[in-house]
Each structure stands twice: as C-alpha cells, then as structure tokens.
Structure 1
Amino acid sequence: MKFSYTYIMTNKYRTTFYVCVTNDLHKRIVEHQNGMGSEFTKKYNLKDLIYFEKFSDINQAISREKQLKNWRKDWKLNLIKKSNPTLKTLII
C-alpha cells in the first residue's frame, strides 16, 4: 500500500514553518536538506522535519495540508507539541 504524508519543516530556531504533502517522505526531506526543496524552504533554511501525518489516500493528505496552511502559527505549534513537545528534529 502506498502512503502519503502531510509534513511540517522548520529552521533551527523553530521560527518559520512550512506545510506540504508528499508520497515519499524520506526522499522529500533529503531533498529539502540538500537545497532541492521548494524556494520557500531554501530562502528560510528550513531543513528540520518536526511533524508529519500519514494517510492511505493522497486526497486526505492534500486536504489536511490545505487545512494546516490556513492555521495560525500558534495553532500549528500546539499541534506539533502534542506529538513532539521539545520540537526535536525527526529522523525518518
């Protein structure tokens, strides 16, 4: 079964968040870390994965991405802290 992921990247200071979706989380994180991610992640040096959700349907992942992108920063931070209270970089 192929899974899709909605994920959140941040910088080392945890001041900027980037929400996106992918069907290969490991590959996409490596791309971000090597400067091959989006222009936004390059501009703000967002290389740390701090949150992700796994979905069996790409449409669910896309819907969640759209929802999270409309959230305020503090809402995203509270969501992240529920599963990653110290905001540590996750290893995939």
Structure 2
Amino acid sequence: MKEPCVYVLASQPYGTLYIGVTSNLIGRLMQHRSGTVPGFTAQYGVHRLVRFEPCETMEQAITREKRLKRWHRQWKINLIQSENPHWIDLAVGLGLPPLVSIVRHDGC
C-alpha cells in the first residue's frame, strides 16, 4: 500500500537534520538505517525518525518537502519540538527496532 509522507530524520537531538519524501516510510527507514543507499544520511549517521507527516498524494508530499527544506533550521527544530520535544525515535512506534548506539573506543 502506498502512503505518501514527508519525514524528518536527525542524527541526535538538535543534530544534523534530513528531510525526505517517500510512499513507503518503513521501507525507506530500513534503507537509511542499513546504509544500503549511499548518501547524506549514511555519511552523517542521520537515522532517528523525529517527525513524519502523511499526505493525501505524492504531489502534496513533494510540495511539503520542498517547502520544509527552504525553512530556517530553527523553524525545523521548532516544528519537531512542537510534537516530539524529547526527540524520541518515532520509528520504534512504527515497529522498527531501537537504534543501536555505537560506542567508540578511541575516546571520541
């Protein structure tokens, strides 16, 4: 079933943000998390789903995505915090497993 939506990923609370559009949110999140699609989210570790908006049509989703991408960073943060003030990974509520924190052993 196709369900167009706009989604926002974050690397961590107040971290790097990514805005995307898809008709299969769960499938797209799995791609982001597995790193199978090279690009921005894989390079910067942006995997936490912090907001998503279902849309009636893919055209509406694309229009909304383009609008959000033009917003100032603080406006995006305010939008996320208005519904998800603790920056919880919403993908868990959609049935995906929690993200695994990577512990580095080089002191960073």
Q: Report the TM-score range of the alignment, normalised by the length of the smaller protein.
A: over 0.9
Counterparts in 2 of 1:1-92, with a 5 A limit? Answer: 2-90=2-90, 91=92, 92=94
Gaps of 5+ in 2: 95-108
Q: Provide, for residues 39-90 of structure 1, a one-character-per-residue CA deviation record: whole Å limited to 9, x for no partner.
A: 0001110111000000121110000000000011110000011111111111
Gaps of 5+ in 1: none
Q: Which runs of 4+ in 1 moved over 6 A?
A: none
Q: Give the alignment's TM-score, normalised by structure 1.
A: 0.92
Provide the rounded CA distance (Å) in 1 between the counterparts of 2:12 and 2:37.
Answer: 16
Change beyond 3 A, Cα 1:86–1:21: same
SS in 2 for 1:29: helix
| Structure that is richer in strand per residue | 1
- CA RMSD across the alignment: 1.4
Q: Give the alignment's TM-score, normalised by structure 2.
A: 0.79
Whichever of the two has the greater Rg, that structure is 2
Count matched residues.
92
